[in-house]
Structure 1
């Protein structure tokens, strides 16, 4: 009988943690000794509409501080990022690519950002890709993080980061430079058409508040940076954030805003917090 109960509880617990998440971007964190509720919100880094719904603004009002992935309010952040934009050991994009592919990328960058690939020869290829994000939208570029920061500043509250610039930038030393270069070439050869389609699809899924759908899209993506490197892009970082979140929530009620892709899945922030004993429920 005892063995049966253990087996049942194990299966039941597994069922609870494997259930699909409700369609919501905003989640309330409570229980496990917290004196006040904190909130977790899934953001999108590139969008046409970064306006915040009323329940998000209310959650910001009901918390004492904002934590993003990075402290984007830090004045030296841009300078810090520059320190980590270069590939290690003197690796060059021109050595990673054939002369023909380097020429294709060169012409592509001149067309889209009026700069030659030679100017970015030592940059991590993914950093070059990020410069092209605004070109992937058929609208003015907007950022949800920027909107969260505006509200927080108007409320005279502090903004912090769950990780450092160094932590985030070193992820792109872990993802092979060859794969990053390959994806840059694919982008250049399609003249952003495939990337525009993927960004458009991602924004639609985000608009529907489908966190599971966001993660599935990353799994299914033709972009190897996204589909083959979720352990370093998402899972490892999620696990590193949990102790910081727990310490922070115990000190003050906090609003956490991180990329929506970090929330779903067995290694996502929501289920990791639940495994630590917190109640994490969708806010409709």
Structure 2
């Protein structure tokens, strides 16, 4: 019932705003000095079906490089990411919760990941939550970004990133470690049920291509990591990306792929690109 109501609201939102808000994950960027158009595509980082539509493949054919949130073909990415996964200033998960809750999280992680909380004690709790995402899907994990990269590789095109690994990982130092840990405790208490339901709702919304509804969904999430920290997770990063997108698109026709939640809202990438002087229109 919850999912049905959510989808109904998304469809109604698209109908009411049809004249000004179009439902699409793919947007054409032109004007403001561009000699060739670039494209903006809203991705979802993990899914059960990462197949790309014909219009996305055509846009990839018509551009000269792929730009994701990170340069995902950087051979040093994994090593650098590992160095940024630990909490600063000697903070540990054990220091953030009661002994009872730490024991519960420990038992939960042993069951779900095969690692004890003691082994992961210095990790940022959000990193551990991210390790649990595949468990929530209930299918073989697929990645939209990986599918985009396959096309770029076949076309012998470069893959670049909008931000560095350090910039992205520093986001999780700007979010309270206490809040991160409390969310991991909630996940353990519900044995993934709450998080799985929310992920399924987001996946269903993604299929509607209603970017405004997806943005609103993050603001109203029961998980404070997204609802409380919208500025840190989305808005601030969007602002940082615009001047970089301007420079990249003017140098070479580019297919930009970023998380779909970054597209919608008054501080979303589409609105910000328009304010920067670009024409941004939905590709049907």
Do the structures match in fold with TM over 0.5?
Answer: yes
Larger Rg: 1
1:101-250 paired onto structure 2 within 5 Å:
101-250=101-250
Q: Please say if residues 21 and 264 of structure 1, whose CA atoms lie closer than 8 Å, have aligned partners that are also in contact.
A: no
* Paired residues, number: 266
Which residue in 2 is equivalent to 1:8? Answer: none
Q: SS at 2:67's partner residue? A: strand
CA distance in 2, matches of 1:158, 1:87: 33
Matches within 5 A, 1:38-117: 38-117=38-117
Counterparts of 2:239 and 2:20 in 1: how far apart (Å)? 20
Partner in structure 1 of residue 268 of structure 2? 268
Q: Which runs of 5+ in 2 are unaligned?
A: 1-18
Deviation at 1:21, TM superposition (A): 2.4
- Partners of 2:36 and 2:246 lie apart in 1 by 13
- 3-state SS of the aligned residue for 2:256? strand
Q: TM-score, normalised by structure 2?
A: 0.93
CA RMSD of aligned residues (A): 0.8
- Following TM superposition, the consecutive aligned residue runs of length 4 or more in structure 1 with deviations greater than 3 angstroms are none
Looking at structure 1, the residues matched to 194 and 222 of structure 2 have their Cα atoms a distance apart, in angstroms, of 9
Shift of 1:113: 0.8
1:20 CA drift (Å): 5.1
Unpaired runs of at least 5, structure 1:
1-18
